[in-house]
């Protein structure tokens, strides 16, 4: 199992419950899970995404400037053709003035001139994601300290292997909902006492968790598996990739209630999750707010997603686009850097 997948396995398991396990509305109304299954059956995905992330506290960048308030804004569109598993993400990343000023005043980062926003066009193939050269050059400048002008790079996209990067598009709109998963989630929902509130109309569902409720949810989630085999069967049912050699340690962590509770108590000051999903015949809307803080730093995130039922054809970059592997791009990058007088 890839390292990134291992790191996020527990949140993904619990997240599956939050995304997939509905309450028990009136018989004539669809449950939350029924609605999610309908969304998953849509042929293709066409979604709009808006997200805001705020960090407050003594955050140090490159051992220097402390940012009292940092904020990032993401606006974008996401399209996925399920038949060919090809897609496109058009994103606009916004950098507020306080973030741009902090970079400019930091001697280790002053070579980076952040614009008010960056527009990115990324593509998805069945086994890779194509990163545009402006994002690649910016990442190189930030993480390697090599100021590369994107116009000097002789390619349009860098191909990143999804498996090697540990990226998996297991979303409600891309994963088939089986009866086995539905039954397991319904059973777990009852065992965990997860409260999902449905509107009178039956098409809007809300989950609200604070630190105490979330801690209890994690503990009960672990206790719901009486044996390691049950836990492994659950991983198989929700189609998560994992290494069989690592299952014992993951299961042991879930069974250790004392460590789970002490970890949450010692490392988290406040925590809040407010998730609302609204289903319409050809539209699925999610509004979520997340808050997490320790003794010094607080993070707030708000995400709004509107997914529409759609029928798309295979999606690919513009004709004639130059695509390089990571190895090829690295060689081209060094050549471009040297041509600008580097090294």
pLDDT tens digits for range 122-153: 998 888 889 888 888 777 766 666 666 667 77
Rounded to an integer, the average pLDDT of 309-335 is 86
Query: How far apart (Å, rounded) are the C-alpha atoms in residues 281 and 308?
Result: 9
- Please indicate whether residue 22 or residue 44 has the higher confidence score (pLDDT): 44
Same domain, 49 and 129: yes
pLDDT over threshold 70, residue 234: yes
Q: In whole numbers, what is the pLDDT of the chain averaged over residues?
A: 80
The total number of structural domains in the chain stands at 2
CA dihedral 80, 288, 225, 245 (to 10 degrees): 50
* Residue 185 resides in a domain: yes
Same domain, 165 and 63: yes
Out of 12-26, 37-51, 156-170, 253-267, the most confident range is: 253-267
* Claim: this prediction has a pTM higher than 0.75: no
In the structure encoding, which two tokens stand for residue 148, read together?
């590369």
pLDDT over threshold 90, residue 274: yes
* Residue 139 resides in a domain: yes
Q: What is the DSSP string of 163-222?
A: HHHT-----TTTS---HHHHHHHHHHHHHHT---EEPTTSSEEEEEEEHHHHHHHHHHHH
The pLDDT of residue 196 is: 84
The pLDDT of residue 173 is: 54
The answer to whether the CB of 172 falls within 8 A of the CB of 20 is: yes
The answer to whether the CB of 70 falls within 8 A of the CB of 97 is: no
Query: How far apart (Å, rounded) are the C-alpha atoms in residues 50 and 70?
Result: 17
Query: How far apart (Å, rounded) are the C-alpha atoms in residues 70 and 58?
Result: 10
Same domain, 70 and 55: yes
* Residue 296 resides in a domain: no
Domain holding 315, by residue range, is 45-172+302-343
pLDDT over threshold 80, residue 116: yes
The answer to whether the CB of 305 falls within 8 A of the CB of 285 is: yes
- Please indicate whether residue 283 or residue 233 has the higher confidence score (pLDDT): 283
pLDDT over threshold 50, residue 21: no
């Amino acid at each position: 199992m890839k390292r990134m997948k291992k790191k996020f396995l527990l949140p993904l398991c619990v997240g599956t419950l939050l995304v997939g396990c509905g309450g028990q509305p009136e018989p004539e109304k669809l449950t939350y899970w029924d609605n999610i299954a309908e969304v998953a059956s849509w042929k293709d995905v066409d979604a709009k995404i808006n997200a805001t992330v705020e960090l407050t506290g003594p955050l140090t960048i490159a051992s220097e400037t402390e940012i009292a308030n940092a904020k990032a804004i993401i606006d974008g569109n996401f399209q996925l053709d399920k038949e060919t598993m090809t897609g496109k993400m058009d994103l606009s990343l916004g950098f507020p003035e306080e973030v741009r000023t902090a970079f400019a005043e930091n001697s280790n980062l002053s070579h980076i001139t952040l614009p008010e926003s960056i527009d990115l066009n990324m593509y998805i193939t069945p086994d890779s994601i194509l990163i545009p050269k402006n994002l690649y050059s910016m990442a190189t400048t930030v993480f390697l300290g090599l100021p590369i002008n994107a116009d000097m790079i002789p390619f349009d996209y860098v191909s990143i292997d999804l498996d090697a990067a540990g990226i998996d598009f297991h979303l409600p709109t891309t994963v088939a909902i089986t009866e086995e998963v539905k039954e397991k989630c319904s059973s777990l929902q009852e065992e965990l006492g997860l409260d999902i509130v449905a509107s009178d109309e039956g098409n809007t569902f809300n989950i609200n968790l604070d630190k105490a409720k979330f801690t209890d949810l994690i503990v009960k989630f672990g206790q719901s598996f009486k044996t390691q085999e049950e836990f492994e069967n659950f991983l198989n049912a929700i189609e998560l990739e994992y290494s069989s050699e690592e299952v014992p340690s993951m299961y042991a962590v879930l069974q250790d209630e004392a460590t789970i509770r002490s970890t949450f108590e010692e490392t988290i000051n406040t925590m809040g999750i407010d998730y609302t999903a609204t289903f319409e015949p050809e539209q699925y809307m999610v509004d979520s707010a997340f808050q997490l803080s320790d003794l010094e730093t607080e993070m707030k995130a708000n995400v709004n997603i509107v997914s529409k039922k759609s029928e798309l054809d295979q999606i690919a970059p513009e004709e004639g686009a130059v695509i390089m592997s990571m190895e090829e791009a690295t060689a081209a990058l060094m050549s471009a850097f040297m041509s600008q007088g580097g090294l």
